[in-house]
Every structure is written in C-alpha cells, then in structure tokens.
Amino acid sequence: MQTVIGKIERQIDKLKRIPRYYGKDIVEQALDDQRQTQLQNLKIAHPEPYFGRLDFQEDGTGKVIPLYIGKVGVQDEEDNQLLVIDWRAPIQVCFIPLRDKVTEPLMNRRMGK
C-alpha cells in the first residue's frame, strides 16, 4: 500500500504545481477541470487507496494478477496501468454476490418496473 500512496503523493504534488487556468479558452478550461477532478480523486484515495483485492487468473495460466479496489480509480502516470480500480466499475460485481432470484427484482426496481 505504501508504494501506491507514494505514487499518489507524487501525482498530487505535480498537479498542485500546475497553476489554475482562468482564461476564456474552452480547451484550456476543460483541461483545468480534468486536472482538478483528478486532484480531488487523488486526495480521496490518498489516506487509504484501496479496501479490497481481487486475484485474477486467466484460465490455463499460472500468473495471478492482483486487482485493488478502492473508492476512486488511480492510474500510474508512468505506464498508465491501473493501480486501483474504482469500486463502481463493472469489475465490482465480483464483490457483490447476488443470486438470480434477488437480482431480478432489484433490476426491475432500478428500471422502474
């Protein structure tokens, strides 16, 4: 976890050094918004980047890939690999074991049926 926290801290420091944009250029405004959103997400992730781990192993391979699940997604700046997967991402269904008889009524309620 300390490695991930260190990478998050470096990303936070880097984003804090970029001055805010207050001009009229729409592209620069959008980029500034993206940076601010990323900064906020990194601040959320900083104290505790993840709360769960899923070990993924593809059939026929001996390689196990750990997937860390957290409140927000965090990506490594150097190689763009996901360090932490947002718990709301589709992979999270592995952490919510629901039986078909429970899932069907739940889905109907969400769809307004």
Q: What is the pLDDT of residues 81-95, one digit of tens each?
A: 889 989 888 765 555
Give per-residue burial for 2-36: e unless 16+ CB within 10 Å, then b: eebeebbeebbeeeeeeeebeeeeeeeeeebeebe
Q: Are 65 and 55 in contact (CB under 8 A)?
A: yes
pTM confidence score = 0.68
Q: How far apart are CA 50 and CA 73, in angstroms?
A: 9
Beta strand 64-70 with 82-86 is parallel
pLDDT tens digits, residue range 42-82? 999 998 999 988 888 877 788 888 888 999 999 998 888 88
**For 4-103, where are the E strands, in sequence order?**
52-57, 64-70, 74-75, 82-86
Q: Is the pLDDT of residue 103 over 80?
A: no
Q: Express as a percent the part of the chain with pLDDT over 70.
A: 80
User: Which residues share a beta bridge with 56?
Assistant: 65
Domain ranges of the chain: 2-110
